[in-house]
Structure 1
Amino acid sequence: MATTLRTLRFYLCVGLVQGALLLGVVLSGALSDLAVGAACAAVLMGGGMLQLVPERRSEWRTWWALMILALVTAGLVMACRGLPLTSQVLGGVATGLILLTVLCAAALHGCADLGRRFCAYVLWVLLALPMPWIAQAAFKHWTSSQHLDPFKDGWLSLVFFAGPTLALSIGLFLISLCLVALQRRRSPVSG
């Protein structure tokens, strides 16, 4: 139980830090729109990769991979600056960045069974991905029904940015719990 609580705390901390960083980047006003997009993508992909490999969070190799992934992500977003901002292009870039993140997380375990781990992580992300949109839609509905502007209140601004990242973190945590439970149920049968 203590391990589960530590893991939950890790996921919540990553989600909260991601939200706070996104808030700082977007509201800083010192960066161009392209730089804001690149920084936000780097924060989201780097934190996402870290949450896919929570058992490796204490390894320096994981943190180096996170930094490299964040830099590559930011560079790729900057390289896409000439593309039209259509929903298809944005969706394609986002999908490519998510797949790159999943590949990095899978590669941290080595080359053996890379394809199997990659597919498992893709499924994990696909199951958790609706959570941020649900959280954002619920928050927007609540603020509009209360006639609140999240950008005029520091606390609401933090909730606006950290709500989706925390929702994704909780989704990834719950899916990881389900995976561990499934592995425990399967191990006595195979043994």
Structure 2
Amino acid sequence: MSRAFVAVLLAFAVSCGSPPQVATAPTATPTPPPSPTPSPSPTPSPEPTVALADSYFKTIQGYEWVTPPPEADRIVRDAFNKPELSQYASGFALRLLTKGGDPVDMFVLVMAMQPSYAALPGVLDSVGKGFTTTVAKEQTLSGRRVLFYGTTTPKVSMWQHRTFIVVLYGTQEAPMSSFATLLIDANQNP
């Protein structure tokens, strides 16, 4: 999503605020005529709710989620507290991975987006462009579009799932794709 588009969107949102209240003297109001009987209207859809980023870390057989060291968590938290990210994201979660207790050279960052931003078209591509200028290889894993950046260090697989942007970091494409498939499958039913 271009910065100009976001700026226009935010300017519009600010300009739509409620008008200032003006004090006026009370006056007599005529009784309004009876209103017509309302016609049935569709029930409004429920508003999407903010999901917690931690909720994306489902149990995956054979793997364990490991809480990162405090300094790694602090670095990510500081990045997400910056206004350019905090206005779009409602939270984040970072986890390292082990398999049978052994490190697997992968970790996952989940960014929970504000529902209004997650619903915008092209969000995944915009996040990818903000991440790197390299061109992504597009994959489809478990029916989900995944952007794979194989020239970055570490390598990155990124996808959008409901209101989440999920970023899997690793060193080898094949194990990353296998794990991404497992993680997407584990989250298919909310």
- Shorter chain as denominator, the TM-score bin is under 0.3
Q: TM-score, normalised by structure 1?
A: 0.24
Larger Rg: 2
Report 1 or 2 for greater relative contact order, CA contacts < 8 Å, sequence distance ≥ 6. 1
The structure with the greater share of residues assigned to strand is 2
The structure in which a higher percent of residues are helix is 1
